[in-house]
Amino acid sequence: MLLFWYVDEGSAVVEEEDLAEIETAKAVVIVKAPASGVLRQVLVREGDAVDPGQTLAVIECPD
């Protein structure tokens, strides 16, 4: 389950910045930004279930 987003849509993010917290059956995991850019779209809302490998958000990277 996605517990919390640290960053809002439209915000700039830096590679390795904390984006969100996910709770699994065994642990709470911090999801880090895979690249720098702008968080354009959140695809999973707080409280929603998350499947392994599921895309959580769209980050637009600069050219």
Exposure letters 24-38 (e unless 16+ CB within 10 A, then b): eeeeeeebebeeebe
CATH number at residue 14: 2.40.50.100
Mean pLDDT of 43-56: 95
User: pLDDT class for 51, splitting at 50, 70, 90?
Assistant: very high
Supply the pLDDT for residue 63: 73
26-41 residue pLDDT tens: 999 999 999 999 999 9
Which domain range does residue 32 map to?
2-60
Break the chain down into helix, strand, coil percent, rounded to 5. Answer: 0, 45, 55
More confident residue, 52 or 20: 20
Split into its structural domains, the chain has a count of 1
* pTM for this prediction: 0.86
- The span from the CA of 61 to the CA of 52, in Å, is 24
